[in-house]
Structure 1
Amino acid sequence: MHYDFVPLPKRKPLKWPDGKRLAVILTTNFEYWDKVQPTDKKYYPGGPGIVGGDLPGNVYDNPNFTWREYGQRVGVWRMFDLFDAEGVKSSCTMNAKMAIERKEVIEAALSRGFEIVAHNYVQDELLTDYMFDEEKERAVIKRTLDVYEQAVGRKAKGWLSSSLRSTLNTIDILSEEGLIFITDLLNDDQPYLVKTRSGRPMVSVSYTSEVNDFSFLRQGLTVETGFMMFKEQFDWLYAESATSGRFMNIGLHPHVIGQPFRIRALRDFIRYAKQFDGVWFATREEIAEWYLENHESHIDPETA
């Protein structure tokens, strides 16, 4: 895996299809956590908890498990209602255990035509556990992709690692498995190509740990300040997109943004963004497939 360092001033203007300026990606993360792990080591939760303190993996953490499960039982359905009412689609990430244990959520997303992106096997397992064992990492990826195909009815095109903890081998493995985009790399507001050892390029369509509903927890945001975070990101990128296209991603978790006292921030942002010309509520696959065909009009291979 290798990508060239091409700073913004060395790129040609990015021109989205149909004259669009700013692609907005509403990422809803469908994530399942195991109740316990077969270990007495510290449990890795794959995200912030609602109750602090570390427990070993073989001890059941009731408040954190059931808080997260609120998103599956209630929060995600509130989000679906919102997306339906506002007429927008979400780009959804799904770990394999979610497809096995909470298939009703996946079926509801598919019935709405939402994109599903592969998102590891289970949330509390990291690919970095296999940094020095590529075959074990490949086995986790293949097992995830097999479940994805069974649940979605097609092969996966893209990937998000649990907690974005990929290894130096991950993108090469994904390319060899036929995927075309990765979302782990947090380093851009535009797509770019990642070179792989197979010779088949991958498109980076960045996720974000900044414009993310976890900021409500980590930074103590309210519904108003959360909306302002979304709006500030949108306004600045929209202004920049007058000369070269951008994308804006919002990371969403049903157990966080799906709470009644937070979800208005998402509704108000969607309504705000829909007022502007040239806004494209896009999927990552749409962006990746378009970019594979048009990347040379953005980043000249000689520049890279």
Structure 2
Amino acid sequence: MHYDYVPISKRNPLRWPNGQRLAIFLTINFEYWDPVQESEKPYYPGGPGIVGGNLPGNVYDNPNFTWREYGQRVGVWRLFDVLDAEDVAASCTMNAKMALERREVIDAALERDWEIVAHNYVQDELLTDYMFDEAAERDVIRRTLDVYEQAVGKKARGWLSSSLRSTLNTIDILAEEGLLFITDLLNDDQPYLVETRSGRPMVSISYTSEVNDFSFLRQGLTVDTGFQMFKEQFDWLYAESETSGRFMNIGLHPHVIGQPFRIRALRDFIRYAKQFDGVWFAKREDIATWYLDHHQEHIPPKG
């Protein structure tokens, strides 16, 4: 994996197709957590818990497991209702266990023609566990992609690692497995190419840990200050997009944003953003495919 350092001030203006200015990704993370693991090590569930303290993996953590399961039983269906009412689509991520254990959620997204991005096998397993064992990392990725294809009916084109914990080998492996884009790299508001050892280029389309519903938990945001966070990000990027296109990602988790006292922040933001020209709720795959054909107009190859 290699990518050039090209600051945004040194790039050509990015011109999205059809005169669009700002692409918005509403990234709803479809994630399953195992109730217990066969390990006495501290359990790593991914993301903050609602009750503090880490139990060993082989000890059932009832409040945190059932709090997250609220998103699968209730919260995600509230999200479906809101996005249906506002006539917008999400760009979802899905770990393999979610497809195996909560298939109804995946089928509901597919019925709406929402994008689904592969998101590891299970949420509490990190690729960094295999930093020094590439064969084991590739096995996790392949098992994930196999389940993805069975559940979605086509091969995955993109990837988000659990908790964004990828290794220096991950992007090379993904390219060799035929994927097109990666969302792990948190370093941009525009797409760019990543070189891989196979010579197959990967498009980076950044996720975000900042504009994320976990901020409601970590920063104590309310429904109004959460909306303000979304709006501030949008307003600045939209102004910048007058001269060069941008994208904006919002990271969402059904057990967090899907709570009744938070979800209005998302609904109000969608209504706000839809008032502006040149804004579209995009699929990452569409952007990645387009960018492969146009990247030289944006960031010419060095040399």
| TM bin (shorter chain) | over 0.9
In structure 1, the residue matched to 2:14 is: 14
1:187 counterpart SS class: coil
1:135 counterpart SS class: helix
In structure 1, the residue matched to 2:127 is: 127
Q: In 2, distance between residues paired with 1:8 and 1:55?
A: 44
Q: In 1, distance between residues paired with 2:67 and 2:150?
A: 28
In structure 2, the residue matched to 1:79 is: 79
Q: In 1, distance between residues paired with 2:126 and 2:177?
A: 19
Q: In 1, distance between residues paired with 2:44 and 2:37?
A: 9
- Gaps (5+ residues) in structure 1? none
Q: In 2, distance between residues paired with 1:66 and 1:9?
A: 47
Q: In 1, distance between residues paired with 2:75 and 2:212?
A: 16
Q: In 2, distance between residues paired with 1:153 and 1:55?
A: 37
For 1:257, give the aligned amino acid: I
Give the superposition deviation at 1:45. Answer: 1.1
In structure 2, the residue matched to 1:194 is: 194
2:108 is the counterpart of 1:90: no
Q: In 2, distance between residues paired with 1:51 and 1:178?
A: 40
Q: In 1, distance between residues paired with 2:46 and 2:286?
A: 28
In structure 1, the residue matched to 2:136 is: 136
In structure 2, the residue matched to 1:3 is: 3
Q: How does 1:13-162 map to 2 (within 5 A)?
A: 13-162=13-162
For 2:8, give the aligned amino acid: L
* RMSD, aligned α-carbons: 0.5
In structure 1, the residue matched to 2:276 is: 276
1:196 counterpart SS class: coil
For 1:188, give the aligned amino acid: D
TM-score by length of 2: 1.00
In structure 2, the residue matched to 1:257 is: 257
Please, which moves more after superposition, 294-303 or 224-233?
294-303
Q: How does 1:203-218 map to 2 (within 5 A)?
A: 203-218=203-218
For 1:107, give the aligned amino acid: D
Q: In 1, distance between residues paired with 2:53 and 2:157?
A: 37
1:36 counterpart SS class: coil
TM-score by length of 1: 0.99
Give the superposition deviation at 1:194. Answer: 0.2
Q: In 2, distance between residues paired with 1:280 and 1:114?
A: 14
Q: In 2, distance between residues paired with 1:54 and 1:200?
A: 40
In structure 1, the residue matched to 2:178 is: 178
**Offset from partner CA, 1:167-222 (integer Å, 9 cap, x none):** 00000000000000000000000000000001010000000000000000000000
For 2:80, give the aligned amino acid: F
For 1:105, give the aligned amino acid: V
Give the superposition deviation at 1:53. Answer: 1.1
For 2:9, give the aligned amino acid: P
Aligned length: 303
Give the superposition deviation at 1:302. Answer: 2.7
2:235 is the counterpart of 1:235: yes
Percentage of pairs with the same residue: 83
- Gaps (5+ residues) in structure 2? none
Q: In 1, distance between residues paired with 2:87 and 2:297?
A: 32
In structure 2, the residue matched to 1:298 is: 298
Q: In 2, distance between residues paired with 1:255 and 1:290?
A: 33
